[in-house]
A and B are shown apart, each in its own frame.
Chain A
Amino acid sequence: MQPSNRRLSAGAATAAALVSAALLLTGCASDGQSAAKQTSSGASHVKIMLTNDGSDDACALDHTSAPAGPITFTVDNKSATGISEVELQSDQRILGEKENLAPGLKPVSFTLTLDGGKYTVYCPGGKNENIAFTVTGKATAPKTGSVQTLLKQGSKEYAGYVDDQIAGMVTGVAALKTAVDSGDIDAAKKAYGQARPFYERIESDVEGFVIPGTKANDNAGNLDYLIDMRASNLDDSVGWHGFHAIERDLWQGGAITAGTKSLATELQKNVNTLASLAKKLNYKPEDLANGAAGLLEEVQSEKIKGEEEAFSHIDLVDFAANVEGSQQAFEYLKPGLKKIDASLTKQINTQFDKVNAMLDTYRDPAAIGGYETYTPALKARDANKLSQAVQALQDPLSRLAEKVATAQ
């Protein structure tokens, strides 16, 4: 048996889809069923049926055209095990979609107000992945608020959030320097814990900067390296600088030396340089989406493993900051996102709530940074739980960028 899992190339798939769409059209035209009729509620109804013919999954429409205006698409997966989502697209942009489709579940629908033009029903995994759908005439109802406008507006507001964090970081690092200079180790530890979250909230936006005049691939000029490098990834030719070198002195060394003081002075200088470079930047909606996902990757790859704060073990402080930064980016996209995919938006919301509720259980006002110390014992006990909660958020969040990039 030759399993039919070889995907058609994109070109072949389109060609095949065109043929079957044409067949479908003629088939329907002959019995006069081609265009969906508007119902009393004003919406036209189109059924999208997913079936398996014994060897292949296929996607079929009961009507391949409808008059302009509100159109309700109802998706019913009868037996197509390889198709789990369906989208309505125009010019590669997703206008509406349904996911989690599987045989045995009740049919689901979505309604869109469409203007005259050519559209495509996209059934990834189906024998005919793309089916042409035509809307005739002009919609009388105004089009729903422009998703693009909402997303752009959100991105603009998000830039303000980033600027606030940068300002907080500058103040926090100045306080850290003052405490280090005073020689008071407890005050310095506390200031360290207060300064850290600002950088972690916006890490994915600020990690790409170099000191003006230096090369992109030279760590000596790489601000992320100079500010946030951990012991595990040191570049010997450049040495150790920044937050974590100070962390080592405070916790492992247990003393503030002349070296600690010069590290703090240098950190302040680099943070100020970063602030001048990263302020007043413009972000595209997909930058926010990618950044939100990037921050969660940081959580998974560093914080949960306890690698970020190897001496102070305040990993949960950074963890919470990464999550907050990620959620902020998401919140600014949300007004537009809701219009693109309300269920995904809700799903991400729910998972953020779960992660936050879980983080709340680790709050400890007495601890540095406000969260329990992530000791090896705590890590052994809870790392798995933390990781799975973040993973459950990461999966839906990783689909944001595509949604946002293809939004109308």
Chain B
Amino acid sequence: MTDARQPADDPDSPRAGEHVSRRGLFAMGAGGLVVGALAGVGGTMAAHALEPDDNGEAVDASVSYPFYGTGHQSGVQTEPQRHCVYMTFDVDPGTTTSDLQTLFARWSAGIAQLMAGRPVGVVQPSRASAVAQDTGEAADLEPNALTVTLGLGPALFDDRFGLAAKKPKLLAELPALPSDNLEESLTGGDLSLQACAEDPQVAYHAIRDLARIGRGTVSTRWTVMGFGRASAGAGQSTPRNLMGFKDGTRNIRSDEEFEKFVWLGDDEEWMSGGTYQVARKIQMDIEIWDADRIGDQQDVFGRTKSVGAPLTGTAEFDTPKFTEVRHGEHVIPQNAHIALAAHENNGGIKILRRSYNYTDGINQYGQLDAGLLFITYQNDPDHFARLQKKLGSYDRLNEYISHIGSAVFAIPPAPEPGHYLAEKLFS
């Protein structure tokens, strides 16, 4: 996936034919929409108003992604949308395996509707005494590139539903990791839903109505409302996280990397084409960080703030030289975030980061309560654990962050038409 625009048969390709590349449209002139340039990018503008988003890029509300028959679930390789609501659920006591099947089938149908910009059912029933099936707040909104991704937690494969034999090979609770500061109320879950969209109300509506469909079978466990993507997809410019640094510069991008580091191969039975999701809620000490001098901030990450260049280079995409020494010291400190996390220093391991900024308002001390909803995808959850073991022990960033939430999920592949997510789990 080296180009933002894929052929129609690509799983992550937008359905709308008139989708226009967002990259640099608005950055190119003084806000000038140059018609020739647009045509050059390869799209027909049609009647869609493209509005510059916070990155100065265009957002096309009409984009929708297909749900069925895409091999992989969307919301992983899909270029990150601007907003994301993440929620985990526990299956209620007394739920049967067939209740679970009904839930997955109804969620799948619901997700298909929502991703196409349609309600999950009737918004205004004709009989006055009837209760509406869809809550209605997204009724006039377009699909907004919504993707909803379902995850299955390790506990789902205990003895409750007779699914123990089907447990994905590498699915297990994450080990305790250094610097963990987890709150019980922000960890775990039998199931997870990640709903990302260009419009926050579309993402929220999706989670709300899916939670509603699930009531009586599942209860909510924890949630994070992410705003502002903090990772870049193949065709996107690099956004910034709340620490003000560009995030996602050296992220997984190409199809080859996805095959190698993210997607499970054909030998994984019902999980073939799936992956594993790790979600961490990471709180930032915003005020303390803001008071740190710029030189130190740059040493913490090993990159410059404005350009995002490695301290050994001048441009964002220059390859960091971790061994470069000047005046007897490493130019990129050895305990800088990127030095510890880079694949060069971790036996080649790469993970897909698909994070979002979040805020929970103000904490009990009157400080800004905010951070990073850090979501990763990888074909082995231990890849995350190995990196975090190191980061949790040595990362200079630890002075300013705290991992307070955590969960791991298996992400099954997308269903074929006429079927539902994880259906093969029950056969």
Contacts and interface: CB of A to CB of B under 8 A. Distances in A.
Interface of A: 1-5, 7, 10, 77-82, 84, 92, 100, 102-105, 124-125, 286, 347, 350-351, 354, 388, 391-393, 395-396, 398-399, 401-402, 405-406
B423 A104 contact: yes
B105 to A, nearest CB: 4
B216 A395 contact: yes
B327 interface: no
A1 B143 contact: yes
B240 to A, nearest CB: 31
Contacts of B112: 81
A346 B119 CA distance: 28
A392 B92 contact: yes
B129 A124 contact: no
A56 B411 CA distance: 29
B121 interface: yes
A103 B129 contact: no
Contact of A79 (B125, B126, B417): B417
Q: Which 3 A-B pairs have the closest CB atoms?
A: A3-B117, A102-B105, A104-B420
Contact of B215 (A78, A124, A395): A395
B216 A92 contact: no
> Which of A3, A104, A354, A388 neighbours the largest number of chain B CB atoms within 10 Å of its CB?
A104
B330 interface: no
Contacts of B118: 3-5, 82
Interface string B113-147: 10011111111111101110100000100110000
A58 to B, nearest CB: 14
Contacts of A286: 129
Most B CB contacts (10 A, CB to CB) among A4, A80, A84 go to A84
B419 A388 contact: no
A159 B59 CA distance: 60
Given A10-B126, A80-B109, A398-B131, 13 more contacts: A1-B64, A1-B142, A82-B109, A84-B106, A84-B120, A84-B133, A92-B127, A103-B105, A105-B420, A124-B125, A286-B129, A347-B216, A392-B216
A80 B106 CA distance: 11
Given A351-B216, A388-B220, A84 B64 contact: no
Interface of A is mostly: loop
Contacts of A347: 216
A5 B420 contact: no
Given A84-B133, A92-B127, A391 B215 contact: yes
A125 B129 contact: no
B302 interface: no
A5 B216 contact: no
B21 interface: no
Contacts of B120: 82, 84
Interface of B: 15-16, 62, 64, 92-94, 101-102, 105-106, 108-110, 112-113, 116-127, 129-131, 133, 139, 142-143, 212, 215-216, 219-220, 415, 417-420, 423
Contacts of A81: 108-110, 112-113
Nearest to B134: A5
Given A124-B121, A347-B216, A392-B92, A102 B133 contact: no
Nearest to B118: A5
Contacts of A5: 117-119, 139
Contacts of A80: 109
Contacts of B215: 391-392, 395
Contacts of A102: 102, 105-106, 108-109, 420
Contact of B143 (A3, A82, A395, A398): A3
Contacts of A82: 109, 113, 118-121
Contacts of B62: 1-2
Nearest to A351: B216
Contacts of B122: 7, 124-125
A213 to B, nearest CB: 34
B131 A1 contact: no
B133 A124 contact: yes
Residue of B124, B126, B419 most packed against chain A (CB within 10 A): B126
Contacts of A78: 418
